[in-house]
């Protein structure tokens, strides 16, 4: 983990909410007009993000372990390993993803997720 990058509280709270199965807490972290792009599939606005989170994270009991943190052009890029009850044939082991967060005004305004 890169010790020189401070993880914004909103980003740490994102991982805490997922790992502790707190969907209401998770959605409160996003700005009303926020966007999530999960491997190219967009979810725009908190209602769509809540549906995405339920489908992709909470129903599969996903848990993340943060492996690395970087700052890239004003974004926080987190490499995280994913565990959970999902089809592991879809994603090669270890299941590592890069989450690029854009945080503005105390909320997450954009999250881009790609397979590492």
Q: What would the pLDDT profile of 62-88 be if each residue is shown by its tens digit? A: 999 999 999 989 899 999 999 988 766
Most distant CA pair in the chain, distance:
38
Tokens read off for 57: 């994270």
Give the residue with greater pLDDT, 51 vs 89. Answer: 51
- What is the reported pLDDT for 116? 85
Range list of β-strands (E), 6-116: 30-38, 41-44, 63-72, 75-83, 96-104, 107-115
- What is the reported pLDDT for 4? 67
Across the range 9-13, mean pLDDT stands at 97
CA–CA separation, 109 and 96 (whole Å): 22
- What is the reported pLDDT for 2? 46
| pLDDT bracket for residue 95 (50, 70, 90) | confident
């Amino acid at each position: 983990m890169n010790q020189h990058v401070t993880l914004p509280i909103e980003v740490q709270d994102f991982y805490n909410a997922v790992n502790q199965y707190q969907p209401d807490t998770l959605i409160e972290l996003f700005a009303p007009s926020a966007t999530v792009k999960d491997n190219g599939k967009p979810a725009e606005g908190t209602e769509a993000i809540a549906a995405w989170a339920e489908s992709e994270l909470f129903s599969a009991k996903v848990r993340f372990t943060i492996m690395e943190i970087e700052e890239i052009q004003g974004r926080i890029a987190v490499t995280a390993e994913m565990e959970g009850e999902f089809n592991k044939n879809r994603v090669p082991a270890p299941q590592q993803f890069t989450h690029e967060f854009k945080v503005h005004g105390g909320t997450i305004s954009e999250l881009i997720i790609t397979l590492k």
